[in-house]
Structure 1
Amino acid sequence: MSRSRLLPAGLSLFLLLTLAACGTRGEKSAAAGAAGPVKGGTLTFAVNTEPSTCLDPHQSPADVAGLFTRPALDSLVSLDAEGRIHPWLATKWTVSPDQKTYTFTLREGVKFSDGTPFDAAAVKANLDHIVAPATKSQLAAGYIEPYKGSEVTGPLTVKVHFGRPYSPFLSALATAYFGIESPRSLKQPQDALCKKVVGSGPFVIDEYVQQKSITYHRNPGYDWAPEGAGHTGPAYLDKLEIKVITEDSVRLGALTSGQVDGIASVPPVNVKQVRADPRLTVTTRQAPGGNYNYYPNTTSGPFADKRVREAFRDGIDFATIVRNLYFGAFQPAASPISPSTDGYDRTLEGRTEYDPAAAGRLLDEAGWSGRDAEGYRTKDGRRLTIRWGFLKAAAREQRDTLAEQIQAEAKKIGFDVQFVAGTVNEWLERYPKGDYDLVDFSWQRADGDTLRNLFGTSSIPTAAKFGQNAARLSDKDVDGWLSDALDTTDQAKRAELYAKVQQRVTGEAAVFPVYVFTYLLGASRKAHGIGWEPQAYPTFYDAWVEQA
């Protein structure tokens, strides 16, 4: 509620949970051919969404908070395109034999932009801040549920303890949601952190204006880039600006007219047009983690009956709708997680077939055999109604149009899909109570452990916990496989366990996979060096712009 970055369909939970990630790994986002990096200048980048009401990635429910804060925040480790962990603020680390304790040795000489030195106490302060009840973390804390505490064993050494083996910890640390903030700044009220975070990164945040922009200036003392970065020392750019332009046509127009140097989410219908423009380039990257999926409530309402869930899944041609609406830019999803996620089960591709006749038989078996005057299925005088929360104003990637097409196809097999309007706050009141039939979102995370967020019993949302298991699935086998995956660092074993989870949840129709979110980045050929972080968001440390 990626990835797939809980809101109703329009907000797609990407704005909250994630409030909801893009082609091939390792692609360069700007054209080659310039003489070389040039220092100075400003790069302006436009995006189609923002972190809702809070910038702080420790507490924000929006995965897009990682894009906005990564320029200012460094992490203990980095993750490359092949899933390998590299040093960053931590120079080395060891894991105890029982995989419950991680010991880190930290880099010397690092300072936060407010002058505070980076040390082991800062690491402890950050991890403790993420899990503190007062932080009310709605994303990051869910990545380290077994966390028990940190122990400072020296100025630059810290031990992190878990209550059980926890193999995904390093990949979680590599994300911006575990970006290290100045311990001095963490002493501020939580609402102050929502407006500005202070880190040790290559850029310093100047101002964040909700629904408009965020601006940064170069950190002149920066000299601790992650291993594998394109250069060392300060960033090339003097300034960086990220603008929020939600309207696709306006954002595209800003790129083609030269008002901005790059944009997120080139409208799929315009990809060929942008690629044909000699001044521009398009780079794609599939996001890891949860695809853009629909999640039926498996515990109440019509979808509590597996046969009804199967009928909805089989009676709608999701793949054809996705291909036609997005002009082939987005791959129809076969699994709840994307092909770029470790542990993805390719055997699921092509397994589900569009079969409206079979869907009709399933509804008959489930007792929805009547038809009312409008053609909707009925049972005991009740119409087969599906309540789907929807905020059209917040829709991105034409998800509102997609939802309307799904609604129309569902009607053909007898479902009355109703979009339940309301404010974000109203929806957030209903979500923990399970007061819905269908929810949609993408959930970006660079690890197969995203399946635990999406389907683990402990992740079912409650009044006390903003979990991501919107299907409200509670399956002992699924919980067991997910638990076993936490116990091992053997990637082959983890992949085997994650495959079992994917097969079970798709077999139970506890998720309707829709499409694989692909980041479509459009940029001027005068903009170079835009990179990618693990969640498939662009990064700007190596970026530079040709000067006129």
Structure 2
Amino acid sequence: MRKFSVLVLILTLALFSAACSSNNASSTDKSGKTKSDKEITIVIDQNFITLDPHNAGDTVSIYGIRSMYEGLVGFDKDMSIVPALAESFEISKDGLTYSFKLREGVTFHDGEPFNADAVKANYDRIMDDANNLSAKRSLKFVDSMDIIGDYEVAFKLKEPFSAMINKFGMVPMISPKAIEEGTKYIEANPVGTGTFKFVEWKQGKTLEVEKYADYWGGDQTNVEKVKFSPVPENGSRVAMLKTGEADFVYPMPQQNVKEFKNSKDATIEETPSTIVRYVSINTFKDPYKDLKVRQAMNLAVDKKAYIQVVKNGFGHVLDSTMAPETQYYAKQKSYEFNVKKAKELLKEAGYENGFESEIWGNTSSESVKGMEFIKQQLAQIGIDVTIKSMEEGTLSDEIYTPEKPEDAKVQMWYVSWSPSSGDADGATRGLFSSEYFPPNGANTAYYDNDKVTNWIKEANASADPKEQEKIYNDIQRTVYQDAPWIFLASDVNLAGHNNNLEGVYVAPDGVINISKAQLK
């Protein structure tokens, strides 16, 4: 009996010790997978394309980058400008000089100091034509940069640019040491100043970042590691949230929202969005050159049905070129669903029997569903659409590689856009100015209207908000009537998270912010 009692005591202590060890170090989700108690998994719908903060254009890459990098200024939850690596800034009365007082005591993740020289190294890299970086578009109006002191810099503009301060928020700062190593090093080894620092990127699988112990802003998060996992299939993302394998899911499939209404384990967050959904139409090609054809395509697509079928009721008819949450939004008279009128316009354009067409899009469940909906709708007026679905990186290459409009193969592109800078310029210039055809910008409709291009320049040069508002109203009205897109919907951001996670949110531009993540 004595030996038996001792054996029971030993086994009990061993089990208790193991349990304590487990509680302190790791947890097991309902799928049976084990992870650290201070680690979270964020499940997204697409792969990251690049981690070069000066060359990212897609939203997914941008929020991967923002987890590790910061700019001179940043954006809060409402897309308002807030101080970041610069503790303050001043704009001259003539709007031509932007002066920044930099934070002292900030270090990059590799230990390099952040100072005026670091800002200069980033500026020089971006402005070097040989690098061909997309961030140069944000600094298009900058003429020069001067170092005033160790922690003070000034940018001088060629001409006034009303949205300039927002553009500074889109330019993250890279360690000068990493810049010296070159672009390939930067792409594989991100080195910023953010709350989290780079661990590993398995392209197409996961991006891992870990807490940066020496972050200048102090201890903002109790999360030690974050893993981003791309999962294009809607059902799989939902299942991972249910089992606890995912701590945060974005986008949350609209059709699954009701499942979590009374859940004790997970919460669905519904927030305003500046994201717009549309089909970009290549106006450089026949038959899309014809305005009547493009207007017919808009009339043939039932936008309210699109929101119900594809978005499960979460969204609003896109009644302008930008979402209502965007600066200087002006509502337009939307294209009402009218198949009869659409057929009449096609007949007038010489396409009574319709024509064959092709639509491109990525591989996410929602994109495929959206393209299928467009195919069905356009079939009503004799347009026979072939769907071509591609992985995001391949799709981006196909869209942005052509050097000239005549080389572009795309006919229609099912896509979304959000101004990451939060301003009207970000929702307009790169999409509708004739100076921003690919690869220079995102005018993938190859929309060419001299009045619109000139208005964009006038709006940028004006310092009068009322004048800017009037100009952007004219731009929205003209572009909407010219129909270089099939205007579909503006989004509602839907994200799901486990109830023990706080502080992670989706901004109106669709970017996930993890800087203040907290596990309860």
Give TM-score, length-normalised by structure 2: 0.86
Q: Does 1:336 align with 2:321?
A: yes
Matches within 5 A, 1:394-473: 394-420=362-388, 424=395, 425-426=397-398, 428-430=400-402, 432=404, 433-445=407-419, 446-450=422-426, 451-461=428-438, 465-473=439-447
Distance 2:483 2:220 in 1: 50
Distance 2:157 2:475 in 1: 24
Q: Does 1:512 align with 2:486?
A: yes
C-alpha contact (below 8 Å) 1:302/1:386 kept by paired residues: no
Distance 1:117 1:318 in 2: 52
Larger Rg: 2
In the superposition, relative to structure 1, how do residues 243 and 81 fare at CA in structure 2: closer, same or farther (>3 Å)? closer
C-alpha contact (below 8 Å) 1:100/1:164 kept by paired residues: yes
Moved over 6 A (4+): none
Of 189, 208, 222, the residue aligned with 2:215 is 222
Distance 1:45 1:310 in 2: 40
The structure where helix makes up a greater share of residues is: 2
1:200 corresponds to: 193
The offset of 1:534, in angstroms, is 6.2
The offset of 1:127, in angstroms, is 2.6
Distance 1:429 1:200 in 2: 32
Q: Which amino acid aligns with 1:204?
A: K
C-alpha contact (below 8 Å) 1:198/1:205 kept by paired residues: yes
2:356 corresponds to: 385
Structure 1 unaligned regions, length at least 5: 1-38, 225-231, 372-376, 378-383
C-alpha contact (below 8 Å) 2:493/2:506 kept by paired residues: no
Of 127, 130, 134, the residue aligned with 1:131 is 127
Distance 2:399 2:441 in 1: 14
Q: Does 1:74 align with 2:70?
A: yes
1:20 corresponds to: none
Distance 1:213 1:82 in 2: 28
Structure 2 unaligned regions, length at least 5: 1-35
C-alpha contact (below 8 Å) 1:101/1:160 kept by paired residues: yes
C-alpha contact (below 8 Å) 1:387/1:420 kept by paired residues: yes
1:361 corresponds to: 344
Distance 1:246 1:83 in 2: 27
Distance 2:482 2:381 in 1: 20
Distance 1:326 1:111 in 2: 43
The offset of 1:524, in angstroms, is 0.6
CA deviations over 1:328-373 (Å, ceiling 9, x no partner): 1232322221121111113x2x53211111111111211223x3xx
Distance 1:174 1:189 in 2: 23
Of all paired residues, the percent bearing the same amino acid is: 24
2:52 corresponds to: 56
C-alpha contact (below 8 Å) 2:59/2:510 kept by paired residues: no
Distance 1:191 1:286 in 2: 37
2:14 corresponds to: none
Distance 2:189 2:253 in 1: 30
In the superposition, relative to structure 1, how do residues 529 and 389 fare at CA in structure 2: closer, same or farther (>3 Å)? closer
What SS class does the counterpart of residue 109 from structure 1 fall into?
coil
CA RMSD of aligned residues (A): 2.2
Q: Does 1:314 align with 2:311?
A: no
In the superposition, relative to structure 1, how do residues 427 and 194 fare at CA in structure 2: closer, same or farther (>3 Å)? same
In the superposition, relative to structure 1, how do residues 420 and 220 fare at CA in structure 2: closer, same or farther (>3 Å)? closer
C-alpha contact (below 8 Å) 2:399/2:444 kept by paired residues: no
The offset of 1:523, in angstroms, is 0.3
Larger RCO, structures 1/2 (Cα 8 Å, 6+ apart): 1
Distance 1:408 1:161 in 2: 52
